[in-house]
């Protein structure tokens, strides 16, 4: 047969064929010129053959031919095709005609064979083959005919009406039912119409479409072109198809991965851009309204940190499920990343639909989620923004929804807020601030002031806390509370913070060189402290400046130690190994957890000024903190000491140091230099005298500085801060004015 390899030499013959024909029929058939034989498909043997067939097969006898195992070297494609024919014969009375090349004893012989089903005596379906003519073709024709038989490409020829004229074996295997037309093959009506229209207009068409095959729907790359049927000479269509289902699925998978969030399976930001962009355009065309809901879980980070990322992930999956449950199928839900989600709603006629859905989401999230054996309540803040009222393009709408979400957080979380134009003004101010912060950094508008740290016991200045100031060109002196949070948000704090450490280190070195033994303390923001590069930065500064790390202190807050990870521990270990001491700032306002403090190399506690301010009415807490520090061997510093009563109270409790307006606010470095010089002079003149108990002898020498107010960024041009820039050396040169009381 076309594909059969050279037949194998006779091996041990199987049991003699049982199905042949009766002797008289055989005699009649033997007289025919046409080679006729019966092929047992299951056993790959010829089981009956007339004389002409024996000649074609170059066999001595039927026994010799029947002994040949024609399946021995048969290719799998041929084997499968034979099986297909067998199945076709079982299904219906049918006959096929094909050009086959047989290889009897290795000699190729090309025949046009007509074959049909033939039931054997034992009931199995075999194949009756008639060789109509021996083809003496050119090698090219032979080979191309062969190729057509073997190729996996499905090739079919259809007449003008779309009825099949020819199918190669691969195409035959791929039809859902006999006699189906070309048009029948398309699964999607739209694909069919498009394809046939293009074929009619251009005479050819190509597409990857869904096709109905015998085992269901597949993706085929279909190419068709108009041609003529070589037999009838009529117009026809030649179609080739390649099964690209595997490809297509891989491609779809890749596209899915690129457009979805792996954790929740929701569309990601990339798909959101495309999909919401499309919805906005469609809504604009149709004059419809949409809403965007920006959803951010409240305190997700805490949950994630305390329960671990695995549970954090589970929580996000559950939240995604609840969000999906709260909307309609044609709404769009995406995960933007982290704990942020975005929903695009069609508003239709229900004006308040966005608010209703937001309420439903908050309700859905209210039901506790059980994770790691704990029942957790989750809440979210939602910002709502409407198209087209609050913005016409995706960027603006997202920004506005985001703003509204932040406003919801500010108002206490767990709520939904619609966007409001006033929010925009706030943000514009914020942008302006961020831009001017960067400018300020580049123009060197920041300056470190130093607040004296004074020994409670003898009134001597024994340290200085570096506190940052911004000389704003129009607003005057600005205090850190008004800009550090913004610098944190934009990341500028990293650069400012490094500058602060560098500057303070240089100052320590300069004071040490001038013979002043002072500890200089530096405040670190949470973001700086979490940065794994911090330890390297600080080590480099120590080398560059030649400062003495044993006279340098790092102030952090308790909250930075909560949930401390490996980086925190490593940073603290490196800093203490370098010689730095660590102080906990604003102690008492945070978690006030002694266990946390004992787990880390902490040297000093700074009692928050709120406890000092309330000493008169509620001294218990300050008393407790000081007592506890003594027990644990920690140094104590009282912050914000403003009255002599407070100071004497601290002295009685053996608090080590204090800072506060009573002695001095933070002052510029050269003012501090002068103060140190005065202290030295006083000490030299009177020995330790005058530096014993009681108010510091330097007290009268502190320059006049009023207590500053915070800057209000929302006021277009706030009145310059009430703090006067100190007159630097001039003030000291002319003798220091007594402090106004």
Residue nearer to ligand C2E on the CB measure, 385 or 607: 607
Closest CA to 704 of 734, 662, 737: 737
Asked if 646 interacts with Mg ion (CB under 5 A), we say no
What DSSP state is assigned to residue 711?
A: P
Residue choice 243, 261, 331, 585 for contact with ligand C2E (CB under 6 A)? 585
**Judged by CB under 6 A, which of 436, 523, 568, 596 binds ligand C2E?**
523
Distance of CA 566 to the CA centre of its chain: 24
Pairing, β 154-159 against β 235-243 = antiparallel
- Alpha-helical (H) ranges within 561-703 are 566-578, 594-598, 609-613, 620-632, 644-652, 669-686
What is the Cα–Cα distance from 719 to 715, expressed in whole angstroms? 9
| Closest CB to Mg ion among residues 554, 718 | 554
**Interacting stretch for Mg ion, rule CB under 5 A, among 29-37, 410-418, 577-585, 719-727?**
577-585
Cα–Cα distance, 195 to 237 (Å, whole number): 13
Comparing CB distances to ligand C2E, the nearer of 304 and 557 is 557
Least CB distance to ligand C2E at residue 722 (A): 13
Q: Which of 7, 264, 451, 696 binds ligand C2E (CB under 6 A)?
A: 451
Q: Which residues between 546 and 575 bind Mg ion (CB under 5 A)?
A: 555
| Residue 449 neighbours by CB under 8 Å, 6+ apart | 466, 467, 468, 469, 666, 667, 668, 669
Closest to 666 measured CA to CA, from 464, 521, 497: 464
Output the smallest distance, CB 572 to Mg ion, in A.
17
Any contact of residue 619 with ligand C2E (CB under 6 A)? no
Please select the residue that binds ligand C2E; options are 586, 657, 673, 674, rule is CB under 6 A. 586
Output the DSSP codes for 311-364. HHHHHHHHHHHHHHHHS-TTSEEEEEETTEEEEEEE-TT-TTHHHHHHHHHHHH
Residues between 546 and 575 that touch ligand C2E (CB under 6 A): 555
Contact 344, 279 (CB under 8 A): yes
Judged by beta carbon distances under 5 to 8 A according to partner kind, the member of Mg ion, ligand C2E, none in contact with residue 468 is: ligand C2E
User: How far, CA to CA in Å, does 233 sit from each of 155, 166, 431?
Assistant: 19, 14, 77
Q: Confirm or reject binding of residue 609 to ligand C2E (CB under 6 A).
A: yes
Distance of closest approach, residue 711 Cβ to ligand C2E, in angstroms: 11
Query: Between residues 36 and 702, which has the closer beta carbon with respect to ligand C2E?
Result: 702
Decide: 414 and 362 in contact? Cβ < 8 Å: yes
218 or 606: whose CB is closer to Mg ion? 606
Q: Does 481 bind ligand C2E (CB under 6 A)?
A: yes
- The yes or no reply on residue 467 touching ligand C2E (CB under 6 A) is yes
Give the one residue of 414, 480, 590, 727 binding ligand C2E; rule: CB under 6 A: 480
Contact between 659 and ligand C2E by CB under 6 A: the answer reads yes
Q: Is 304 in the site for ligand C2E (CB under 6 A)?
A: no
Q: Tell me if the bond preceding 388 is cis, omega within 30° of 0.
A: yes
Nearest residue (CB) to Mg ion, 101 versus 604: 604
CA angle (519, 523, 524) in 5-degree steps: 130
- The answer to whether 356 and 343 are in contact (CB under 8 A) is no
Cβ 335 to ligand C2E, closest distance in Å? Answer: 33
C-beta of residue 676 within 8 angstroms of C-beta of residue 514: yes
Contact between 640 and ligand C2E per CB under 6 A: yes
Least Cβ distance, residue 657 to ligand C2E (angstroms): 12
Contacts of residue 288, defined as CB under 8 A and 6 or more positions apart, other chains included, come to 282, 346, 347, 348
| 657 lies in the binding site for Mg ion (CB under 5 A) | no
Cβ proximity of 99 and 111 under 8 Å = yes
| Smallest distance, Mg ion to C-beta of residue 602, A | 14
Contact between 479 and ligand C2E (CB under 6 A)?
yes
Among 69, 298, 531, 585, binds Mg ion (CB under 5 A): 585
One residue of 66, 334, 524, 622 binding ligand C2E per CB under 6 A: 524
Q: With binding defined as CB under 6 A, does residue 463 bind ligand C2E?
A: no
For position 604 contacting ligand C2E by CB under 6 A, the verdict is no
* Closest approach of ligand C2E to the CB of residue 524, in Å: 6
Q: Tell me how far apart the alpha carbons of residues 124 and 18 are, in angstroms, rounded to a whole number.
A: 12
Token pair for 480:
């850190």
Residue 523 as a binder of Mg ion (CB under 5 A): the answer is yes
Q: Between 387 and 450, whose beta carbon lies closer to Mg ion?
A: 450
Q: Candidates 57-65, 173-181, 412-420, 631-639 — which segment interacts with Mg ion by CB under 5 A?
A: 631-639
Compare residues 6 and 480 and give the one whose CB is closer to ligand C2E: 480
Give the Cα separation of 20 and 23 in Å (integer). Answer: 9
Is 478 near ligand C2E (CB under 6 A)?
no
**HSE-CB of 728 using CA atoms within 13 angstroms:** 2
Residue 46, contacted partner among ligand C2E, Mg ion, none, CB below 5-8 A by kind: none
DSSP result, 241-258: EEE-HHHHHHHHHHHHHH
Instruction: Report how far residue 323's alpha carbon sits from residue 519's, in angstroms, rounded to the nearest whole number.
Output: 55
* Residue 531 interacting with Mg ion (CB under 5 A): no
Determine if 671 is a binding residue for ligand C2E (CB under 6 A).
no
Q: Does residue 588 bind ligand C2E (CB under 6 A)? A: no
Question: Per CB under 5 A, which region of 100-108, 387-395, 512-520, 580-588 contacts Mg ion?
Answer: 580-588
484 binds ligand C2E (CB under 6 A): yes
Among candidates 73, 60, 61, 69, which has minimal Cα distance to 11?
69
Which does residue 691 touch among ligand C2E, Mg ion, none (CB within 5 to 8 A, set by kind)?
Answer: none
Q: Give percent helix, percent strand, percent coil of the chain, each to the nearest 5.
A: 40, 25, 35
Q: Compute the least distance from the CB of residue 418 to ligand C2E, in Å.
A: 35
Applying CB under 6 A, the site for ligand C2E has a residue count of: 25
For residue 195 the two structure tokens come to: 């394809």
Site mask, ligand C2E, residues 153-172, x = CB under 6 A? --------------------
Query: CB-based contacts of 451: which residues, under 8 Å, 6+ apart?
Result: 464, 465, 467, 659, 664, 665, 666, 667
Tokens of 248: 């297509």
Q: Which does 400 bind (CB under 5 to 8 A by kind): Mg ion, ligand C2E, none?
A: none
Instruction: Between 71 and 660, name the residue whose CB sits nearer to ligand C2E.
Output: 660
Using rule CB under 6 A, residue 649 touches ligand C2E = no
Cα 530 to Cα 406, 525, 533, 564, distances in angstroms: 24, 9, 9, 9
- d(Cα 584, Cα 592) in Å, to the nearest integer? 10
Nearer to ligand C2E, 241 or 494 (CB): 494
The reply to whether 660 sits near ligand C2E by the rule CB under 6 A is: yes
Nearer to ligand C2E, 289 or 472 (CB): 472
Under the rule (CB under 5 A), what is the footprint of Mg ion?
523, 555, 585-586, 639
Under the rule (CB under 6 A), what is the footprint of ligand C2E?
451, 467-468, 479-481, 484, 497, 500, 523-525, 555, 585-586, 609, 639-642, 659-661, 665-666
């Amino acid at each position: 047969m076309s594909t059969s390899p050279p037949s194998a030499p006779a091996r041990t013959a199987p049991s003699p064929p049982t199905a042949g024909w009766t002797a008289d029929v055989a005699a009649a058939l033997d007289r025919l010129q046409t080679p006729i034989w019966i092929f047992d498909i299951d056993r790959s043997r010829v089981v009956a053959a007339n004389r002409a067939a024996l000649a074609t097969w170059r066999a001595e006898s039927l026994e010799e031919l029947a002994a040949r195992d024609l399946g021995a070297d048969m290719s799998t494609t041929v084997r499968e095709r034979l099986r297909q024919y067998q199945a076709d014969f079982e299904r219906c009375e049918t006959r096929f005609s094909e050009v086959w090349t047989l290889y009897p004893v290795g000699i190729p012989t090309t025949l046009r064979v007509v074959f049909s089903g033939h039931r054997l005596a034992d009931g199995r379906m075999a194949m009756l083959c008639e060789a109509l003519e021996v083809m003496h073709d050119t090698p090219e024709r032979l080979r191309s005919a062969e190729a057509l038989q073997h190729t996996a490409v499905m090739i079919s020829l259809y007449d003008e009406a779309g009825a099949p004229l020819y199918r190669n074996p691969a195409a035959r295997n791929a039809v859902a039912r006999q006699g189906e037309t070309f048009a029948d093959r398309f699964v999607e009506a739209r694909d069919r119409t498009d394809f046939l229209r293009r074929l009619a207009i251009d005479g050819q068409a190509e597409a990857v479409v869904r096709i109905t095959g015998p085992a269901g729907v597949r993706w085929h790359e279909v190419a068709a072109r108009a041609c003529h049927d070589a037999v009838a000479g009529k117009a026809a269509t030649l179609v080739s198809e390649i099964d690209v289902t595997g490809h297509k699925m891989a491609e779809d998978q890749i596209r899915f991965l690129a457009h979805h969030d792996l954790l929740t399976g929701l569309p990601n930001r990339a798909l959101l851009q495309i999909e919401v962009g499309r919805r906005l355009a469609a809504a604009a065309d149709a004059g419809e309204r949409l809403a965007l809901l920006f959803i951010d879980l409240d305190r997700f980070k805490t949950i994630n940190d305390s329960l671990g990322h695995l549970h954090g992930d589970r929580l996000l999956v559950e939240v995604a499920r609840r969000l999906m449950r709260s909307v309609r199928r044609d709404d769009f839900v995406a995960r933007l990343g982290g704990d942020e989600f975005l929903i695009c709603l069609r508003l239709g006629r229900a004006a308040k639909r966005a608010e209703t859905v937001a309420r439903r989401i908050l309700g859905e999230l209210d039901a506790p989620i059980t994770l790691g054996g704990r029942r957790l309540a989750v809440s979210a803040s939602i910002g709502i923004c409407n198209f087209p009222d609050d913005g016409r393009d995706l960027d603006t709408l997202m920004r506005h929804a985001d703003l509204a979400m932040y406003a919801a957080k500010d108002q206490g979380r767990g709520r939904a807020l619609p966007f409001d134009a006033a929010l925009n003004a706030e943000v514009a101010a914020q942008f302006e601030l961020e831009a001017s912060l960067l400018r300020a950094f580049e123009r060197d508008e920041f300056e470190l002031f130093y607040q004296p740290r004074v020994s409670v016991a003898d009134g001597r200045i024994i340290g200085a806390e570096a506190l940052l100031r911004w000389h704003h060109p129009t607003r005057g002196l600005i205090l850190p509370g008004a800009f550090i949070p913004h610098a944190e948000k934009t990341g500028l704090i990293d650069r400012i913070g490094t500058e602060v450490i560098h500057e303070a280190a240089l100052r320590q070195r300069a004071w040490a060189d001038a013979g002043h033994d002072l500890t200089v303390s530096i405040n670190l923001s949470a973001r700086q402290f979490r940065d794994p590069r911090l330890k390297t930065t600080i080590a480099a500064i120590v080398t560059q400046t030649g400062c003495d790390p044993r006279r340098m202190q790092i102030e952090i807050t308790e909250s930075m130690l909560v949930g401390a990870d490996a980086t925190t521990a490593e940073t603290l270990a490196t800093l203490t190994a370098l010689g730095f001491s660590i102080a906990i700032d604003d102690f008492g306002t945070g978690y006030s957890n002694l266990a946390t403090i004992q787990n880390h190399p902490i040297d000093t506690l700074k009692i928050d000024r709120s406890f000092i301010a309330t000493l008169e009415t509620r001294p218990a807490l300050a008393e407790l903190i000081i007592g506890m520090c003594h027990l644990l061997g920690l140094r104590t510093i009282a912050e914000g000491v403003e009255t002599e009563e407070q100071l004497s109270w601290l002295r009685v409790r053996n608090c080590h140091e204090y800072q506060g307006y009573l002695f001095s606010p933070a002052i510029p470095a050269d003012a501090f230099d002068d103060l140190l010089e005065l202290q030295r002079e006083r000490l030299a003149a009177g020995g330790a005298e005058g530096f014993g108990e009681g108010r510091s002898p330097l007290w009268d020498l502190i320059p006049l500085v009023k207590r500053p107010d915070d800057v209000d960024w929302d006021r277009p041009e706030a009145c310059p801060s009430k703090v006067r820039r100190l007159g630097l050396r001039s003030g000291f040169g002319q003798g220091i004015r007594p402090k106004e009381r």
